[in-house]
Chains A and B, each alone.
Chain A
Amino acid sequence: MMEKIICVCKHENPVGTKICANCGRPLTEEEQNSKVLDMKYDGSAIRSKTYNKSIVDKIWNFFSSVKVGVSLIIITLVAASIGTIFPQEFYVSAGTELERELYYEKTYGSLGKLYYSLGLADIYSSWWFQVLVGMLGISIIVASLDRGLPLYKSLKNQRVKRHESFMKRQRVIAEGAITEGDSARTLDLIEDKMKNLKYKVRREGNALLAERGRFARSGPYINHVGLIIFLLGVMFRLLPGFYVDEAMWIREGETRAVPGMDGYFLENEKFILETYDNDPTESQKQQGVNVVAKNYQTNVKLYKQSEDAVAGQSDNLELVQDYSIRVNHPLQQEGYSFYQMDFRLNELKEMRFSLTNKETGESLGPVNIDLTNPQKEYVIDDQTKVALLGYYPDFSGFENGEPQTKTPTPNNPAFIFKMITPEKPDGEVSFVAIQQTIEPNGDNAYKMAFQGVETRNMSGLTVHKDRTIPILAIGGFIFLLGVAIGSYWSHRRVWVQQLDDGTIMLAAHTNKNWFTIKKDIDAVTEYAHLPKYVDQLDVEEQNEKEGDNTL
């Protein structure tokens, strides 16, 4: 393989160059035989096409290929759309793997089961999907470097004067004598008019190059940069400190450490659910909806530990914010947001009993048990008290005579009381659960008569922090900027040479929107009395293939 292609003009071009960077002579046989030059990348060598020797070059060239890039895009798109056939497991409220599998099978049949077992229910976290997106990223970077840099160089170093063979192989050309006036002034007139049309004009002897909108060529590269920044932003979510998305359940009256936010505590003062008190409308009745929610609100206090405090130290908390979290009105602090997500109403908080004589029905006094903090003893007077021997918040039955609790939540509270009364100073033991009383030592004289309950609500909040949003926004903005530059601006060039006999040779090229450049040339032609131009591509074909060559 040759290292360089040396043009007739003695300029050394890299291997793979199609059009000499200096004079513009076509260098390949293909170009020499064509009527109109392929002006993609201005005929500069696509780097990957030039060397293909070491393993590194081979990998590089793989990613540089547009075919590979397009294939990666298509595969990624297909995979991403497969992930939308059934809901992702993230949206399925089933705790364990087994429950999730059952859910897919039950809801979507055997297809759902297959979907889950193939891992498609969590496709976006799968390693192969991430590798796919990563390879797409590599492809974007490598392909852009390979094409963008040579294009930039060749546009930066363009010469004013191009060889005849270059000029004649442009799509729009004009040749001939000027139609009227002094030919000595023609180039000046052209310069005037082109400058007027906001072209940048350079002259070199009898040659002139007018150029406008070169930055339009950078559009695709700018939008690739945007895409890469966007992908980086998504990747940053995995770095510690950039992204937090935690759920917390907190009951009224509780203070809890905030997950994902070190040193902060949240207290739930009250959860409020408000509904519209309208009579059900016709459509409400049809849908079987009795009430319509108006407001979900959690009144909270956010506290911060002192600087030198360690985990577990919840004394000396400093109040940071007092706020009412409502839907769409999160509590915000240092980049963290607390969103109202869920609620549970009426969890038992206090149970009220009265120590009652079974026979007479006479009450010796009330015993109110705060389920969050039960006491060992409830004293009514000197001779009358109730000792609490056991408390089982979620009673689930007996095991070896011992009452069991299956969770720490008071869903089904049960107690063992020892009632000491003047009548029975040694005490009577009673096991009390909801709608169940057991008196192990035979018939008691007294009972703990159920009086009532007090309940409290629980709020489900989401703690969210996303430091990657500015990165994503910047990436998205740059991407759109690139798209706009590439779509709405065109790179237009007009080369003119005046031969010794005063005749004019003109060639024009644009990467898109030939209509506009022709309008510009029309204006110049009229102003400087130039010969009429021709479009070397067929008129019919030209109407169909208007402006698709973005690169």
Chain B
Amino acid sequence: MEKKKKRTILRSVILVVLVAAIVYTVYSSATKDKVEVLKEGAEAPNFELVDLNGETHRLSDYEGQGVFLNFWGTWCEPCKKEMPAMDRQYATYKDQGVHVLAVNIAQSDFEVQNFVDTYGLSFPVVIDKTKSVMTAYNINPLPTTMLISPEGKVEKIITGEMTEKQIASFMESIKPE
């Protein structure tokens, strides 16, 4: 009887290990091709970029504050639509510890400055000249917005256009206590 028990346990262990290997394989290959390799809840990769005024912004400098990280381009239609709304909400939330950082994808200073002037944006706009931050955050469609909590975690990843109402509630959600 003792031997039988041992055999059943051994067989169960072997089968469980093998089945786990299959499940892992199927699961990870199913989730592999998705855009978001960076997962919600993960640590937001630190980065450093320079804005149009020559000022350096480092993500870790904003620890303790919520960061509304928006990736955009001047050619992107929804970006143009949500930018003014973001600017309005920024005016409300900047005193409550929520920062907006708009990361342009490798365009020229002229185009970005022109855009900022046209829409009169007040939040800092940085340019990712080497697409390094874009690669680190695995950004594919524009616009993509990352909500980064005061603890430096990725709270939520939003791809596509946001309404002003959504923007407000997103900023609310990363407000420091």
A259 touches B110 (CB 8 A): no
A59 touches B74 (CB 8 A): no
Nearest CB in chain B to that of A371: its residue: B108
Residues of the A chain whose Cβ atoms lie less than 8 Å from the Cβ of B110:
373-376, 388, 391
A311 touches B73 (CB 8 A): no
Whole-angstrom CA separation of A142 from B37 in the bound complex: 35
Chain A nearest CB, measured from B43 CB (Å) = 12
Q: How large is the interface on A (under 10, 10 to 19, 20 to 34, 35 or more residues)?
A: 35 or more
Interface members, chain A 372-427 (any B CB < 8 Å): 372-376, 388, 390-391, 393-394, 405-408
Task: Determine, out of B18-26, B144-152, B169-177, the stretch whose residues face the partner at the interface.
Answer: B18-26
Counting CB contacts under 8 A, is A171 at the interface? no
A390 touches B22 (CB 8 A): no
**Between-chain CB contacts (< 8 Å), 22 pairs:** A51-B4, A57-B11, A131-B26, A134-B25, A145-B14, A238-B32, A257-B131, A257-B135, A262-B136, A310-B48, A310-B59, A311-B48, A312-B49, A312-B128, A313-B47, A314-B130, A314-B132, A373-B110, A374-B108, A391-B111, A407-B75, A408-B74
List of 5 A-B pairs having minimum Cβ-Cβ separation, nearest first: A134-B22, A257-B132, A311-B47, A311-B136, A312-B47
Whole-angstrom CA separation of A297 from B120 in the bound complex: 45
Counting CB contacts under 8 A, is A130 at the interface? yes
Within the complex, which residue of B29, B33, B48 is in contact with A313, where a contact is CB–CB below 8 Å? B48
Whole-angstrom CA separation of A206 from B8 in the bound complex: 43
Whole-angstrom CA separation of A141 from B18 in the bound complex: 9
Counting CB contacts under 8 A, is A125 at the interface? yes
Whole-angstrom CA separation of A373 from B111 in the bound complex: 9
Interface members, chain A 242-289 (any B CB < 8 Å): 255-259, 262, 265
Whole-angstrom CA separation of A51 from B21 in the bound complex: 26
Counting CB contacts under 8 A, is B15 at the interface? yes
Counting CB contacts under 8 A, is B107 at the interface? yes
Counting CB contacts under 8 A, is B105 at the interface? yes
| 10 extra interface residue pairs, beta carbon distance < 8 Å, beyond A310-B58, A312-B49 | A54-B8, A141-B14, A239-B28, A255-B130, A257-B134, A262-B136, A314-B130, A376-B110, A408-B105, A408-B111
A312 touches B132 (CB 8 A): yes
Chain B nearest CB, measured from A390 CB (Å) = 6
Residues of the B chain whose Cβ atoms lie less than 8 Å from the Cβ of A310:
45-48, 58-60
Residues of the B chain whose Cβ atoms lie less than 8 Å from the Cβ of A390:
114
Residues of the B chain whose Cβ atoms lie less than 8 Å from the Cβ of A406:
75
Counting CB contacts under 8 A, is A9 at the interface? no
Whole-angstrom CA separation of A135 from B46 in the bound complex: 42
Residues of the A chain whose Cβ atoms lie less than 8 Å from the Cβ of B131:
256-257
Nearest CB in chain B to that of A369: its residue: B110
Bitwise interface map of A from 137 to 178 toward B, beta carbon under 8 Å scored 1, else 0 = 110011001000000000000000000000000000000000
B21 touches A134 (CB 8 A): yes
Whole-angstrom CA separation of A406 from B77 in the bound complex: 9
Counting CB contacts under 8 A, is B129 at the interface? yes
| Contacts known (A256-B131, A259-B135); A130 close to B48, Cβ less than 8 A | no
Residues of the B chain whose Cβ atoms lie less than 8 Å from the Cβ of A91:
none
Whole-angstrom CA separation of A406 from B75 in the bound complex: 5
Chain B nearest CB, measured from A351 CB (Å) = 14
Whole-angstrom CA separation of A138 from B16 in the bound complex: 10
Residues of the A chain whose Cβ atoms lie less than 8 Å from the Cβ of B114:
390-391
Counting CB contacts under 8 A, is A434 at the interface? no
Counting CB contacts under 8 A, is A488 at the interface? no
Counting CB contacts under 8 A, is A56 at the interface? yes
Counting CB contacts under 8 A, is A60 at the interface? yes
Counting CB contacts under 8 A, is A235 at the interface? yes
Interface members, chain B 100-131 (any A CB < 8 Å): 105-111, 113-114, 126, 128-131
| Contacts known (A134-B22, A265-B130, A407-B75); A56 close to B11, Cβ less than 8 A | yes
Residues of the A chain whose Cβ atoms lie less than 8 Å from the Cβ of B92:
none
Residues of the A chain whose Cβ atoms lie less than 8 Å from the Cβ of B109:
373
Chain B nearest CB, measured from A369 CB (Å) = 10
| Contacts known (A130-B29, A141-B18); A372 close to B128, Cβ less than 8 A | no
Residues of the A chain whose Cβ atoms lie less than 8 Å from the Cβ of B21:
134, 137, 235
Whole-angstrom CA separation of A137 from B20 in the bound complex: 12
Residues of the A chain whose Cβ atoms lie less than 8 Å from the Cβ of B59:
310
Chain B nearest CB, measured from A507 CB (Å) = 34
Nearest CB in chain B to that of A125: its residue: B29
Within the complex, which residue of B28, B108, B136 is in contact with A238, where a contact is CB–CB below 8 Å? B28
Residues of the A chain whose Cβ atoms lie less than 8 Å from the Cβ of B11:
56-57, 60
Within the complex, which residue of A130, A255, A405 is in contact with B22, where a contact is CB–CB below 8 Å? A130
A238 touches B111 (CB 8 A): no
A138 touches B15 (CB 8 A): yes
Whole-angstrom CA separation of A131 from B29 in the bound complex: 12
Interface members, chain B 23-81 (any A CB < 8 Å): 24-26, 28-30, 32-33, 45-49, 58-60, 73-75
Residues of the A chain whose Cβ atoms lie less than 8 Å from the Cβ of B14:
141-142, 145
Chain A nearest CB, measured from B144 CB (Å) = 15
Whole-angstrom CA separation of A255 from B29 in the bound complex: 31
Nearest CB in chain B to that of A236: its residue: B25
A51, A256, A258, A262 interface centre (most CB from chain B within 10 Å): A256
Nearest CB in chain B to that of A267: its residue: B130
Whole-angstrom CA separation of A412 from B136 in the bound complex: 31
Counting CB contacts under 8 A, is B133 at the interface? yes
Nearest CB in chain A to that of B13: its residue: A56
Within the complex, which residue of A137, A312, A375 is in contact with B48, where a contact is CB–CB below 8 Å? A312
Whole-angstrom CA separation of A363 from B18 in the bound complex: 79
Residues of the A chain whose Cβ atoms lie less than 8 Å from the Cβ of B105:
408
Whole-angstrom CA separation of A51 from B8 in the bound complex: 10
Whole-angstrom CA separation of A407 from B165 in the bound complex: 28
A394 touches B75 (CB 8 A): yes
B30, B74, B75, B136 interface centre (most CB from chain A within 10 Å): B75
Residues of the B chain whose Cβ atoms lie less than 8 Å from the Cβ of A259:
135
Whole-angstrom CA separation of A407 from B111 in the bound complex: 12
Whole-angstrom CA separation of A376 from B112 in the bound complex: 12
Residues of the B chain whose Cβ atoms lie less than 8 Å from the Cβ of A372:
108
| Contacts known (A137-B18, A311-B46); A374 close to B25, Cβ less than 8 A | no
A130 touches B25 (CB 8 A): yes
Residues of the B chain whose Cβ atoms lie less than 8 Å from the Cβ of A314:
129-130, 132
Residues of the A chain whose Cβ atoms lie less than 8 Å from the Cβ of B24:
235, 238
A138 touches B75 (CB 8 A): no
Interface members, chain A 4-34 (any B CB < 8 Å): none
Chain A nearest CB, measured from B155 CB (Å) = 19
